[in-house]
Structure 1
Amino acid sequence: MKLIARLVLGIAAGIGIGLVANQFVATLMVTIKDIIGSFIFFMVPLIIVFFIAAGIASIGKGGGKLLGSTVLVSYVSTILAGLFAVTVAMFVIPSLGIADAGADAPSEMAGFLDLTVEPVFDVLTALILAFVLGIGIAATGSTKLHGIIDEGQNIVELVIRRAIIPLLPFYIAGVFAEMSYDGTVFATLGVFGIVFFLAIAMHLIWLVVQYTIAGAVNRNNPFSLLKSMLSAYVTALGTMSSAATIPVTVEAVKKNNIRDSITNFVVPLCANIHLSGSTITIVTAATAVMHLYPGLEFPGFVGMIPVILMLGIIMVSAPGVPGGAVMAATGILTSMLGFDEGAVALMIALYLAQDSFGTATNVTGDGAIAVLMNGLQKKDAI
């Protein structure tokens, strides 16, 4: 929650500075934005490589029907959540008049420094490399390479926690200062509240859907199951990390009389691969940005399907880091939806404002998958 407070402070500070700034101050804020933004975009391919490669390699350690079933169910849940979100967002958001808000793109002011840090490789190269490494490690059982990938993931997570996340409020402040200086900011602010409440409403609806299905398979009352998961939901709101909430999630799932062998396997695995809440948030926020931001065009339901399919893969292991999901998704937003730096900044701001709720939905949904797998195991045993 501290991150949300810093984000709000950054937005407010940026707007205030932009309203009273002279040319020098405005250019200084743009310079800060450009430097931080260049670093963020430099890190995106590295995030993709190490997060996805480590996630695939770790999944490959396991074996048996339970592993395959859990991975499949988690991915299907994530994709269906994204399809649900885009279906709702594509009808609700345009009806709210966002596209008519009159927002203009910032005037692309030049900063004091022309500093561009080129990424080591592009997003597509990073994605292919991650798959090659992850699948190769899983197939060969290479402990040395697995260790390197794990260490690389730890370093990237450290950079996100200690550098990118602390710098984001300043980056957002620079973006909003530029928009405010140009007079384009107020048309944007109303979108935040709309997307915030729309996404949370869809989170709650999706949880009910998940637990209704899981309860039917396991022959439980879905609302009783959800009640048992309240401690995990509240904890995730504070930690903003699926991984950090694992101990609480395990205890909450066990209250629903799920076998220990199922709980202890499914919950840690789903904490890294089940992203229904994060996907709902990203898809909803991206849809809003595409309707608001000049130069972007919403590709329609069919056009969003490949994006959602990729989101389910590219965010593997990202929920362990607050804000990690949107950072990992940045590559998809730029390469498949044409987001530029200003659009990405709006996207990050929209996402982080409700990151804790998306994480709480991820975590609570993990419990539904554990219940579902428990029920499926019972049927197989009959």
Structure 2
Amino acid sequence: MNSSRLFSLLFHGNLVKRIFIGLLLGILVALISPSLNALVGFNLADKVGILGQIFVRSLRSVAPILVFILVIAAIANKKVGSKSSMKDIVVLYLIGTFLAALTAVLASFIFPSKVALVTGDHSLSPPGELSEVMSGLIFNVIDNPITALFNANFIGILAWAIGLGVALRHASEATKNVVNDFAEAVSKIVHFIIAFAPIGVFGLVAETLGDKGLQALGQYIHLLAVLIGAMLFVAFVINPILVFWKIRRNPFPLVWTCVRESGLTAFLTRSSAANIPVNMALAKRLNLDEETYSVSIPLGANINMAGAAITITILTLSAVYTLGVEVSIPTALLLSVVATVCACGASGVSGGSLLLIPLACSLFGISNDIAAQMIGVGFIIGVLQDSTETALNSSTDVLFTAAVCISQEEDNK
């Protein structure tokens, strides 16, 4: 294979396929490494692990500025419709996302997941009581913004980003365009880093399986099962309940239509933004109000993130359980709220929700380095996780829009 074909294989084409190739190669290197050890004089799996470490370090460095800029841009440029139906849809989006985070907490309590992490000498200061969590939260919120960025204090970063975003809603369009340009620039950097995800996954899997053995692969499968199980529960239990609350009749025909015609396409494209035209066409076939769905569906692609809330919550709690931190019910509820806010600000790039895991981990005193390792774990299982997450997010956009439109039609009769 010549160099140009190898470069094309590694850096172009479908990201899922490339990550899957990296995953398989990582497993292969981990399996053959003990046999090659005597021949080459070093542990091959351990040596290629530096590729995974570089990838994790890159994710750790970009995450703080990504959260800061994207949240400012999202709030400053958000145009919420004045129609009452839009308010109902936004409320449904937020309730659905919060209930998804709560479902993820319950799933993690029932089926706790642990993964192999390199903790090293990192000091961990887990919270004792809710009062300790709240006091730490308040001190982090009022942190100096420069210090917050420098120390990756994600709670402080989020607080300043929300404050600046709200203030900039009254700024001139030129200023908002500059903020948008910064957000686009940061997103391009993230796209560039994620392009190296297959190589990073290759290094992470080879090093982890070479050190921990194939039982680590079983941990990934368990974690993936919990994630997908929680997403399916939300799609076929929580969402139908919310839809029934709105339309007061059997919700499953509408649920199945949205999953089949929107969710399946989103599963394959792995992009809520790319699935907007599909949702628009489906909304038109359902005879929904065009003035409503033309705003609610693009808005939902940005803030209706039930799948992202599940991913952030379960991966955060996986890190928590791995480190042996006790989680109280009030702290878990606070995590659900934080995960909801994080999900609403998730980047639209593939794997964007993973980059917000450090923010949720900061609630438990988990270091940014360990949180970045959880991002790496997310990319390892992302072959199926991200596709299922996108399918849930995107199909719910048109589902909740349809529920509110149908409800209003019934009220107007």
Q: How does 1:76-225 map to 2 (within 5 A)?
A: 76-91=95-110, 93-94=111-112, 105-106=117-118, 120=150, 122=152, 123-138=154-169, 140-161=170-191, 163-182=192-211, 184-208=212-236, 209-225=238-254
Report 1:1-382 matches (<5 A): 2-19=14-31, 20=33, 23=42, 25-26=44-45, 28-60=47-79, 62-63=81-82, 65-91=84-110, 93-94=111-112, 105-106=117-118, 120=150, 122=152, 123-138=154-169, 140-161=170-191, 163-182=192-211, 184-208=212-236, 209-229=238-258, 230-291=260-321, 293=322, 295-297=323-325, 299-318=327-346, 320-334=348-362, 336=364, 338=366, 340=370, 341-351=372-382, 353-378=384-409
> Does the C-alpha gap of structure 1 residues 266 and 282 become closer, same or farther in structure 2, counting only changes over 3 Å?
same
Tell me the matched-pair count: 362
TM-score computed with the length of structure 1 as normaliser: 0.83
Q: Deviations over 1:201-250 (max 9, x none)?
A: 33233223323432452355422212332221111011111111011012
Query: SS of 1:318's equivalent?
Result: coil
Q: Deviations over 1:75-122 (max 9, x none)?
A: 11101111112112311x24xxx66xxx7644859xxxxxxxx96562
Q: Find the residue that maps to 1:234 and give its secondary structure.
A: helix
Summarize the Cα distance change of 1:251–1:221 in structure 2 as closer, same or farther, 3 Å threshold: farther
Aligned equivalents of 1:281, 1:265: Cα separation in 2: 26
Task: Calculate the aligned-residue CA RMSD, in Å.
Answer: 3.0
Alignment-mate amino acid for residue 284 of structure 1:
I
Distance 2:87 2:76 in 1: 14
SS of equivalent residue, structure 1 residue 315: helix
Residue identity in the other structure for 2:302: N
1:287 and 1:120 mapped to 2: Cα distance? 25
Q: Is the 8 A contact 1:318 1:328 kept in 2?
A: yes
Deviation at 1:365, TM superposition (A): 1.1
Q: How many Å apart are 1:15 and its aligned residue?
A: 3.4
Q: Distance in 2 between matches of 1:247 and 1:200?
A: 25
Letter in 1 for 2:392: T
Per-residue deviation, 1:50: 2.1
Per the alignment, do residues 85 and 337 of structure 1 end up closer, same or farther by CA in structure 2, a change over 3 Å counting? farther
Aligned equivalents of 1:255 and 1:215: distance in 2?
21
Secondary structure of 2:325's counterpart equals coil
Mark the runs of 5 or more structure 2 residues left unpaired by the alignment.
Answer: 1-12, 122-147
Q: 1:352 to 1:305 in 2, by over 3 A?
A: farther
Structure 1 residue 286, shift from structure 2 partner? 3.5
1:234-274 per-residue CA deviation (whole Å, 9 max, x = no partner) reads 11011111111011012223333322122112111111101
List alignment gaps of at least 5 residues for structure 1: 110-117
Are the equivalent residues in 1 in contact too, given 2:52–2:199 (CA < 8 A)?
Answer: yes
1:24–1:210 Cα change, 3 Å:
closer
Is the contact made by 1:199 and 1:284 (CA closer than 8 Å) also made in structure 2? Answer: yes
Q: Percent identity?
A: 22
**Equivalent residues of 2:53, 2:204 under 8 A apart:** no
Alpha-carbon separation, structure 2, partners of 1:374 and 1:322: 30
Letter in 1 for 2:166: I
